[in-house]
Structure 1
């Protein structure tokens, strides 16, 4: 069952999918419609899942699940991945490739392959204080506190040693 993202408890499980580009205004409307439909019907072993979403910076799809009523199962997670694959095809974007980094520089969101980001760190084009998006957060609470952080405070720190 679809619930407003802000109403999900802090311990809700989270999945973050970063796009290799911003979604257009028209795409955002279609994407919200698709997410509404998918999450409203999302189940685990026949039980409704209380889930919500938000789209940040017109490029991150953030799905949260309140597991206090029903937890996600392998099958329900598989259906979420299939849904995201459909979104990738429909909008011609990359959402599932984890070998990319998104960061903020000069008040703009940038997207780079991991190898390019690593090279930029070595060359000093990005620094320890560069704000990165740590998509490895697992809960809504972690997302709110540790998603947008200086590179030195995330797994990206290994590129600055």
Structure 2
């Protein structure tokens, strides 16, 4: 069942899908409606299941699932990946490539291949203090505290010389 984000507990599961491009203003309402519809129908027979989402920077789709009183099966996770694949195809974006890097450059969010990110660090276009998005986190509490962090505090710090 779809619930407000504030009702999702801190230990809820999180999946972050960064888009290879910023979504256009005229796409956002449709995407959000599709996400709400998916979540509302994700596990319709399980009254204990609660899920929510955040759509951030017009680029990140973040799904939250409270699995405290219910079990998330492989089929449930497959359903969410299938949904993301359908968005990827419909909007002609990449959403499932976890090896690309998202970071802030000024007020803008950038999406780069890892090799290009390394070049930016080498050329000092980014520093250890630059803000990176750790899209590999898995819980709501980590999302709230460690999603947007300086490169030096992330696993990407190994690329800073």
5 Å matches for 1:62-141?
62-141=62-141
The RMSD of aligned alpha carbons is: 1.3
The answer to whether the 8 Å contact 1:50/1:69 transfers is no
Say whether 1:148 aligns with 2:148.
Answer: yes
Provide the secondary structure at the position in 2 that maps to 1:47: coil
5 Å matches for 1:23-38?
23-38=23-38
CA displacement, residues 73-104 of structure 1 (integer Å, 9 cap, x when unaligned): 10000010000000001111100011211111
Relative to the length of structure 1, the TM-score reads 0.95
The answer to whether the 8 Å contact 2:16/2:62 transfers is yes
- Count of aligned positions: 160
The answer to whether the 8 Å contact 1:19/1:94 transfers is yes
What residue ranges of structure 1 are gaps of 5+ in the alignment?
none
What residue ranges of structure 2 are gaps of 5+ in the alignment?
none
Structure 1 counterpart of 2:46: 47
